[in-house]
Amino acid sequence: MRAVPQASESSQDQAKDVRPLTGNEAIARGAWEAGMRVAAAYPGTPSTEILESLATYPVEDVHAQWSTNEKVALDVAIGASFAGSRALASMKHVGLNVAADAFMSQAYIGVNGGLVLAVCDDPGIHSSQNEQDTRIYGQLATVPVLEPSDAQEALDLTRLAFEISEAFDTMVIVRGTTRLSHTRSPVVVGTRKEAPARGFLESPAKNVMIPAHARNRHVVVIEREAKLAKYLETSPINRWETGDSSFGVITAGTCYPYVREVLPSASVLKLGASWPLPEGLLRRYCESVERVFVVEELEPVIEKEVRALGFKVSGKEYFPRVGEFSPEIVRAGFEKAGVLSPRAQKIGWTPEPLARPPVLCAGCPHTSSYMAVRAANARVAGDIGCYTLACLDPLRGLDTTVSMGSSIGNAIGIWRGGETKPVMATIGDSTFLHAGIPGLIDAVYNQANITVMLLDNHITAMTGGQDHPGTGKTLRGEEAPRVDYEALVRAIGVKWVRTVDSYDLAAVYQNLREAIAYRGVSVLISNRPCVLDPVKIKGPALSIATEQCNACQACMNLGCPALTWGEETFEGRHKVKIDASLCIGCTLCAQVCTVDCIHPVAQVTQ
């Protein structure tokens, strides 16, 4: 094992070049400064901007790519590490589930070139299907987990992660959270330190995980964990800040600034790594104070380990296991514990802000698809993407949503389980490439009677419009081969395949009816670019001839945010008006209008 540089060798000691960076941008910068050469990811909030930022660095320094899913991204990074180059894979917390198979095996193999996983958790479930604590994966795989508390530490700990990786022959997780990922703060940046490729390490006993090799490597993993724990005992990434000894706080990550804001004079042990934990340091700290609190988001990972050392510790009885923390939540926990006096109640009433429910964009091509789905009276298994919002009023077009790519497999099971309604799966283009293809193969192979609606909006829309193999562009905007969905689906063995323009409402309805009537697996591709895609074709805004409107409100069933209630009424019902600043001229409202009163603005004003 070679020596690991101390934190004092980080960018903070170099000539000061201060830039405002988000946590994700800082992770990208730290990887670049560390000499990382290959980076791969699948976009997923809150981690997306790590790869987008890396793509702004010189191509001769870094190869940065979108992969079809997180496992492929990790496999690419692992391959680069095998070849002796430093590599990074980034993903959100649920993405690590997809990559877990390779992740667990690589924990035994270790590394050649430094290998870092930037994994961003989402406490509070701002844009995910669950809350999940990546630190538990670190424990499971015996892989160290570094926890930066701000953007400066995000850069510094990412640089250090590559050094730790190579020194201890291990992958390293840099764990972010939504708050760290998207908060911007001043960061002292450094320069790139080139790390020449080491060349491929020809060692089948290390690199090939057959049982005989894996048994020996497991022993190495246990020994490695002990070495890492010993290193972390004295590492400056852990910081003991002395203060009032009547109680002490152990914390990590973005909880640290909350604790410091609420308890500026407290004794605090800030851990830079939440796994493995430095037992000796924890013992000395706990013995130095009369009462110990642990403040950590989500699961009681640190709390359980401190209890296992034999210390009485307070944690989740005062600080919740669910949701994102804030100074207010941390303060409330310490007030409940009797450490802080309750604040005086404010006099008067402060109205709560109105919650705006999420909606599909004006002109979203998914709208017509789900209108047709709703009319089909089918049992619908949904998937992960913007179109998941179709479960809400007024579209109400989904019955289930589990995880990326689950819809087709779920639909097979629903049909096999005896559902009497027609059974459908709806899945977006990026999600289909991510994890939907195996489900479709299974449906054909096992002769299921289901309809799959592939919602092709030419982009990974939910995470901000990233490219994928179906867009014909790479992460850096270069031309690339584009997946032909009809050819792919036919190659799988599907006999009934059609593509329809999402804005042709009648065609969507008719083709979906025919797809459902087909006995076997049918695939209807609803095709139209996302309205946020820069290549979209925007038509003239529409307007309503108010005198003709009979307030039937059929157009309101679209759920389009450009449609609002007007002041005029007809037979006690409000007529509708269109906000021209939001309308993109998709004409879906005109197609459902019962009295033909919706036309381009120029025609209405003539």
Closest CA to 295 of 331, 319, 327, 277: 319
CB 505 within 8 A of CB 592: yes
Residues 6+ apart with CB under 8 A from 150: 23, 180, 183, 185, 254, 257
* Per-residue model confidence (pLDDT) at position 344: 61
Given a cut of 80, is residue 595 above it in pLDDT?
yes
Tell how far CA 80 is from the center of its chain. 23
Q: How confident is the model at residue 7 (pLDDT cuts 50, 70, 90)?
A: low
Instruction: Give strand pairing partners of 381.
Output: 400, 425
pLDDT score recorded for residue 206: 95
Structure tokens at 313: 């510790």
Asked if 147 contacts 297 with a C-beta cutoff of 8 angstroms, the reply is: no
Is residue 135 a contact partner of residue 170, using CB atoms and an 8 Å limit?
no
At 403-430, the pLDDT tens digits run 999 999 999 999 999 999 999 999 999 9
The dihedrals phi and psi of 152, each to the nearest 5 degrees, come to -60, -45
Q: How many residues does the chain have?
A: 606
Least confident among 278-292, 483-497, 573-587: 573-587
Question: How far is residue 209's CA from residue 67's CA, in Å, rounded to a whole number?
Answer: 24
The amino acid at residue 266 is: A
Q: Are 391 and 397 in contact (CB under 8 A)?
A: yes
CATH architecture for segment(s) 366-527: 3-Layer(aba) Sandwich (3.40)
**Element housing 499 (H / E):** strand 496-501
Tokens standing for residue 145: 């987990």
Sole residue written with tokens 């308890």 = 263
pLDDT on residue 532: 81
Find, among 361, 359, 363, the residue nearest to 540 by Cα: 363
Q: Tell me, what's the pLDDT at 91? A: 97
Distance separating alpha carbons of residues 469 and 126, to the nearest angstrom: 27
Strand-pair partners of 424:
380, 451
- Give φ, ψ of 339 to 5 degrees: -80, -35
To the question of domain 7-234 being in CATH 3.30.70.270, the answer is no
Percentage above 90 pLDDT, the chain: 85
CATH dotted code for 239-336:
3.40.50.920
Say how far residue 576 (Cα) sits from the centre of its chain: 37
Q: Given a cut of 60, is residue 175 above it in pLDDT?
A: yes
Provide the pLDDT confidence category of residue 352 given band limits of 50, 70 and 90. low
Could you read off the pLDDT of 370-400 as tens digits, one per residue? 999 999 999 999 999 999 999 988 888 999 9
Strand pairing class (451-456; 522-527): parallel
Q: What residue spans in the chain does CATH classification 3.40.50.970 cover?
A: 7-234, 366-527
Under CATH, which number does the domain 542-605 receive? 3.30.70.20
Amino acid at position 32, single letter: W
Q: State both tokens at 534.
A: 């820069």
pLDDT above 60: residue 92? yes
DSSP strands (E only) in 280-417: 292-295, 313-314, 379-382, 400-401
List the structure tokens of 298. Answer: 């989500």
Token output for 73: 């991204």
Mean pLDDT of 278-283: 96
What backbone torsions phi and psi does residue 381 show, to the nearest 5 degrees? -90, 120
Contacts of 420 (CB under 8 A, 6+ apart): none
DSSP 51-97: HHHHTTS-TTT-EEEE-SSHHHHHHHHHHHHHTT--EEEEEEHHHHH
Query: Taking all residues of the chain, what is their mean pLDDT, rounded to a whole number?
Result: 92
For 451-467, what is the mean pLDDT? Answer: 93
Q: Is the pLDDT of residue 147 over 70?
A: yes
Range list for CATH 3.40.50.920 in the chain: 239-336
Contacts by residues 563-566 (CB-CB < 8 Å, ≥ 24 positions apart): 563/589
Mean pLDDT of 568-578: 91
What integer is the mean pLDDT of 570-592?
Answer: 91
